[in-house]
Structure 1
Amino acid sequence: MEYTIYCDMDGVLTDFDNRFRYFAGVTPDVYEKENGTEEFWDLIDNKIGISFWTNMPWMPQGKKLWSYIKKYKPTILSAPSRNPSSRNGKKKWIQKNIPNAKLILAARQNKMQYSGENNILIDDRSDTIEEWKSKGGIGIIF
């Protein structure tokens, strides 16, 4: 049986939380709670811009995970923000760090169209994993 591996980017391969903390001085959760969702995304998309995404550091275990799964030709399945800078920034990050990787950018709810019996998702969000599994896929929380 052949499997298709999908791997999330933010929180799995890249360290979204530490990148955000670098600019805001607090974690994303704290910032969003204090300032609201609109201001949270405004900071990332408009005040910081594309460099937020292009210069994202690897997660501590992200490179190790990628080195293990790359032989299976995984697809990066990542949710962009509403601003085109995240799409462009994520593409540039992939080109710089794992240039031969296939990238699909899909809103979180649209990720589920890739779920299926032989499809594996590696993700950091338990709600995403549970929904993936409910659609017939195999989910691995990372």
Structure 2
Amino acid sequence: MSANILSLIVLAHNTIGFRCASSYLPVSSIMSKRPAPTSPPSSGKPKKAKAQRSLSAFFGGAPKGPSDEATSTSSSSSSSSAYKIFCDLDGVLVDFEAGVRGLFGGRSPDELPNQSAMWAAIGRADRFYATLPWTEDGRALWHELKKHPTTPDILTGVPRTTKSRSEKYAWCVRELGGETGDLEINHVDMAGKKSAHELVSGRRKDKDGVVNVITCWSKNKHRESRRNHVLIDDRLSLREAWEEGGGIFIHHTNTERTLIALREKGVLGGEGNPGK
């Protein structure tokens, strides 16, 4: 009896030991059976990478791509288009002195005994202003001004002879409109009675492709001055009044210097490409 009991005890012990041993699996086996940790759903916005790109751009480390260049060009063009250019005729685009020399045997205005004789001769001349030649570098200046995002206007002073207004307009139609007629030339006469700056005839057209030829008394040019209004003129005496009106005055001596001044002030864009 005692032997049987002992055998049962041994059998039970072995069975229990086998089960216990089988429960102690190697660590690698246990780990392999654990489910892999799942990552939280991606939002599609790698914040760290974005921050790095932002810092790189801030310090100038990221090269510009095509879209960046396009944005830069658009910004420059937009900045240039904020300005309105007014260009004088006599002494800037038109060679007034050459016309006077033609009337007085080669003598310049400074060589004449008095200005009254000069203006009287101009008044008697047939289509004096309509037939004047370009200045030496006037065409080059106009070629660049035409590239500006906003079509430039002409602001020119007139003498007391009424016909000078239509003659200057005729010159602009022939010379500024271009053979292809790419620009419309529109006359606006502001040389009012008693030296007033008021509308005499015409209507301004503020749209691309239209050059308003504004004829007025020279001393009243500043009446067109506003913020971002730019006057290109060879008469330095007009500067103070124009700038007091809030505008930008460019004293013209030659085309090269005028273009440099316009670019320095941001009125024109890069060399040879205004607004770009």
TM-score, normalised on structure 1? 0.90
Task: Confirm or deny that 1:111 pairs with 2:221.
Answer: yes
User: 2 CA distance for matches of 1:30 and 1:129?
Assistant: 26
- Is the 1:7–1:121 contact (alpha carbons within 8 Å) kept by the matching residues of 2? yes
Q: Per-residue deviation at 1:109?
A: 1.6
Partner of residue 39, structure 1: 117
What is the aligned counterpart of 1:70 among 134, 141, 146?
A: 146
Task: Confirm or deny that 1:89 pairs with 2:170.
Answer: no
Give the residue type in structure 2 aligned to 1:86: S
Give 5+ residue unaligned stretches, structure 2.
Answer: 1-78, 178-183, 185-210, 253-276
Give the residue type in structure 1 aligned to 2:129: W
1:21-79 CA deviation, whole Å, 9 max, x = no partner?
A: 12212111221xx1x33222110012x132x1111110111100000011231000000
Give the residue type in structure 2 aligned to 1:75: D
Q: Per-residue deviation at 1:18?
A: 1.3
Task: Confirm or deny that 1:56 pairs with 2:166.
Answer: no
Q: Look up the SS of the partner of 1:9 in the other structure.
A: coil
Q: Look up the SS of the partner of 1:71 in the other structure.
A: coil
Count matched residues.
137
User: 2 CA distance for matches of 1:88 and 1:109?
Assistant: 20
How many percent of aligned residue pairs carry the same amino acid?
35
Give 5+ residue unaligned stretches, structure 1.
Answer: none
1:62-118 CA deviation, whole Å, 9 max, x = no partner?
A: 100000011231000000111022111101101110123320001112111111111
- Is the 1:121–1:137 contact (alpha carbons within 8 Å) kept by the matching residues of 2? yes
Partner of residue 111, structure 2: 30
What is the RMSD computed on CA atoms of the aligned residues? 1.3
User: 2 CA distance for matches of 1:120 and 1:74?
Assistant: 10
Which structure has more relative contact order (CA 8 Å, sep 6+)? It is 1
Task: Confirm or deny that 1:9 pairs with 2:89.
Answer: yes
Please, which moves more after superposition, 126-135 or 12-21? 126-135
Give the residue type in structure 1 aligned to 2:220: N
Please, which moves more after superposition, 129-138 or 4-13? 129-138
User: 1 CA distance for matches of 2:110 and 2:164?
Assistant: 19
User: 1 CA distance for matches of 2:95 and 2:115?
Assistant: 19
- Is the 2:86–2:154 contact (alpha carbons within 8 Å) kept by the matching residues of 1? yes
Q: Which runs of 4+ in 1 moved over 3 A?
A: none
Question: Which has the larger helix fraction?
Answer: 1
Q: Look up the SS of the partner of 2:147 in the other structure.
A: helix
User: 2 CA distance for matches of 1:38 and 1:116?
Assistant: 34
What is the aligned counterpart of 1:121 among 200, 214, 231?
A: 231
